[in-house]
Amino acid sequence: MYPSLHEAFLDLFGIDWSFLKLFQSFGTFVALSFLLCAWAFAKELRRKDELGLFHVSYRTITKGLPATSGELIGQFIFGFALGFKLLGAAFSGGKFGADPRAYILSGEGSILAGLVVGAGLAYWRYYEAKKAQLPQPKEEQEKISAADHVGNMTLIAALFGFIGAKMFHLLENFGTFLENPSDMIFSTGGFTMYGGLILGGIAVLLYARSKKLNLLHVMDACAPGLFLAYGVGRLGCQISGDGDWGIVNTAAKPGWMGFLPDWFWSYTYPNNVNHVCNPYQPSDPEYMANIFCDFKTNPALVAPVFPTPLYEAVICIALFFVFWYFRKRILIPGLLFSAYLMLNGTERFFIELIRVNEVLFHLGSWGVTQAEVIAFVLFCMGGFGIWWTRRHAAKNKAAQTS
């Protein structure tokens, strides 16, 4: 496993760049997932815009104005922070290479580099505005397309998705949270995908509604990208070994999987980012026997587990291509997103059966998890959405022909 890009580049290419320690594998893949989702989302919104499915809006802009003092100060502050830390790292006397994250979070840096970069960016902003400045600034009407909102919606999804993912994780592990709330709140780990999806999705829809965008078309446009983003994010879980793996799997690999490598069936996650070596749950008889396993001596799980992040990555990326193919062929608004909800719920529900997770409550001998409950609700919502959208489309068609 590669907790950061530094380990990956060192192992795969023999490149020892200390600054790569800053880029955690999981965080890098999460950032990549947001960018890919934004790309697919924007592409779909532009296509729908060209079909006339969104109303046309305009905004008034003023061209030819000089740079404002606020813009210049903002550029200077940004440049100072950049130079102070990043260029200062080159003169840190090895402190950056020893522990990049500790250096970035410390008060150390190069004031001179910060002043130079800050002044340079401020002057660049002034120069660019000066070139475009007009003797008499003029106002123009600029068309706003639905895709122009993707940047704002991506930032909103990232912010509220992060909050939702952390909130749902705290609720899922409420007992542990009560024991040490500050550690769980401010830890860099501990996120629940469905929390991010639900709160981030609600925030984006509220924003879209405020901009008078057709919500059904917005939801359809984001459906393929959501599968792609989740699949890429799960690749980050797999590569870093962040603990989102499955239950212990010591069974022999089935014959029908013979063409796949062994690690596709069961894996020990060597050098995982959480330094976990005991894959058993407290309810397992083997748990106590391995509770004091030494990760430094044996940097891997003492027993192989199902690589569930890999399964989810393969399934969701494949579903992205399926949805991308059918997106132009499904013409009923809201139908594509309803299908997304059903397939998302189905995929996660069955993965939960072999995945390690906290039990929310019991139905007889079956321990039900938070994710299973949400997956079931999403499946039902998707099924209702398919029924409603088809019925609504049939009514509209009947009204047009009568």
Q: Is the pLDDT of residue 12 over 70?
A: yes
Question: Which of 113-122, 167-176, 224-233, 259-268 has the weakest average pLDDT?
Answer: 167-176
Of 57, 338, 43, 48, the C-alpha closest to 212 is: 57
The answer on 326 and 238 residing in a single domain is yes
Per the structure, the count of domains in the chain is 2
The answer on 45 and 125 residing in a single domain is no
- pLDDT at site 333: 94
The answer on 228 and 168 residing in a single domain is yes
Percent of the chain with pLDDT over 70: 90
The answer on 72 and 190 residing in a single domain is no
Q: Is residue 239 within 8 Å of residue 29, measured between CB atoms? A: yes
Averaged confidence pLDDT in the chain: 86
Q: Is 104 part of any domain?
A: yes
The answer on 42 and 97 residing in a single domain is no
Q: 């924003």: which residue's tokens?
A: 207
- What confidence tens digit (pLDDT) does each residue in 258-284 have? 999 999 999 999 999 889 999 998 888
273 — phi, psi (to 5°)? -65, -30
The answer on 188 and 333 residing in a single domain is yes
Q: Is the pLDDT of residue 290 over 70?
A: yes
- What confidence tens digit (pLDDT) does each residue in 134-187 have? 888 888 888 888 888 998 998 898 888 888 877 877 776 666 656 666 665 655
Question: Which of 12-26, 280-294, 383-397 has the weakest average pLDDT?
Answer: 12-26
The answer on 197 and 114 residing in a single domain is no
Last residue of a domain, one of 110, 133, 156: 133
- List, as one string, the DSSP characters of 154-202: HHHHHHHHHHHHHHHHHHHTHHHHHHSHHHHHH-S----HHHHHHHHHH
Q: Is the pLDDT of residue 221 over 70?
A: yes
Q: Is 34 part of any domain?
A: yes
* Residue 239 structure tokens: 């590569």
Model confidence band, residue 98 (pLDDT cutoffs 50, 70, 90): low
Q: Is 254 part of any domain?
A: no
The answer on 382 and 333 residing in a single domain is yes
Domain coverage including residue 95: 65-133
Helix (H, G, I), strand (E, B) or coil at 360: strand
Q: Is 10 part of any domain?
A: no
The answer on 222 and 363 residing in a single domain is yes
Model confidence band, residue 190 (pLDDT cutoffs 50, 70, 90): low
The answer on 196 and 128 residing in a single domain is no
**Which residues on neighbouring strands pair with residue 363, listed in sequence order?**
366
Q: Is 178 part of any domain?
A: yes
Model confidence band, residue 345 (pLDDT cutoffs 50, 70, 90): very high
The answer on 240 and 182 residing in a single domain is yes
Q: Is 265 part of any domain?
A: no
Q: How far apart are CA 224 and CA 202, in angstroms?
A: 17
- pLDDT at site 8: 86
- pLDDT at site 104: 63
The answer on 50 and 70 residing in a single domain is no
Q: Is 7 part of any domain?
A: no
Q: Is 328 part of any domain?
A: yes
